Structure 1
Amino acid sequence: MIVGRVARGLGELLITAGLVVLLFLVYQLWITDMFAARTQDRLHHQLDQAWGHPPPRQPGVERARPAPALPPVYLGDGLAILRVPRFGLDYSPVIVQGVSAANLRRGPGHIPGTALPGQLGNFVVSGHRTTYGKPFSRLDELKVGDPLVVEVRDRYYTYRVTGSEVVTPNRLDVTYPVPGRPGVVPTRDLITLTTCHPKFSASHRLIVYGELADTTEKSAGLPPVLKGA
């Protein structure tokens, strides 16, 4: 009798534990995607409204390198739109400012303090690979030469993938102005995309590097790499 009760109790506990794990997986793999999709819709709408107005004039001395036409962006707000032809026409996540847990639930996040799109230095963006819309789930499919288009208010910046590597989470040097070279003054406009590796694990980071290859004013239409996507 006692053995039977223990067996039944153990069985009920295992069933309950299994249901809890199943519900957790449903939440992680589907519910968070629904949350992210709604958030991304709002971010796209907010950018459409913000970009519908001309950017404020920047008084001061003329610059040899024009600064990106980006208004001040608060943490969690939309900064730019990322388009990757290899991922299809529908791929266009809004990049938000900041990489806190709350920010990354909204979309891929720009690391504050790194360069802005089209700016000299390293524009670094991190994103989820398996949850919250999994914007970087296919990052491992990118190949050298693939275009990465970053859309801002008045232009498109087309970067080209230059390489990738898998590193440990403590490799912060990938976010430096010149990745892997602390203290070196940047001379190129770079982009670095980071995500967890492998999928469903945070033991390592997958890093994709790119360099600015072309800038297209919106008044000139879509950049060539998007016309053929």
Structure 2
Amino acid sequence: MRIKLLLLISIFTLLYTNGFSQTNTDPQNNSLELSTGFNSGSLKNLEFAPVSRYDYNGLFYSLNYERKTRNENLFEIRADYLATELESDAIPQLNTDYSKIGLGFSYLKQIFDKNAFSIHLGLQSQTTASLYRDNYYLVDQEFGVASRFTYQLNRKQHLASKLTVPLVLIRLRGDVGLDGYLLNRYQSALWNLEYGYSISNNFGLRLSYDFKYNRLQIPNAFRELQHQVNLGINYKF
């Protein structure tokens, strides 16, 4: 646990130093957030084990960076880490450790802004590495579209919702090799709902909920459903 926290703090410090050293950026256009929360999920992966469904839950950690351009467009980077255990009532002997590392990039262009309500639309890239026991692993690379809706309640508070739909999946499976899938065989959606509160000009709090569903139609069926609730503190510069 200490190693994980030290790693997150090191990354946080590195990104903060890099962003702070850029003298050509406008104030308040950058935001760096460190957050943690609770993850609850269900997984079915018949390629890994003949279990109808695994359940898992645990704490996860997230580091987010957001850059707003002069045209109000958004560039976002998000890194996540989760370490937990897959548990099954059907075959408890097949319970196993499970960890995931995710890295996402998105660029969203503002297409509407009126009466404190704005809409952004753009592209999303998400890389996720999942590690099971016995050195079995999956590396997923998703490319898709994303939309973000924001409503400014007042000067200090806002509500936002972001929907991401991957269109292409490239998957590396252990020693099996590399495969690619389109919408006819891979369906996925990630929905985020957040509430933000500004403590001061430089600091704020964010409470958010994430819902993600993955479905891959292959002979060895793969399904995953996740719920995440997290609280983060961000620094604006």
Q: State TM-score, norm by structure 2.
A: 0.30
Compare the two structures and name the one with the higher strand fraction.
2
* Higher helix residue share: 1
Per the normalisation by structure 1, the TM-score is 0.31
Which protein has the larger Cα radius of gyration, Structure 1 or Structure 2?
1
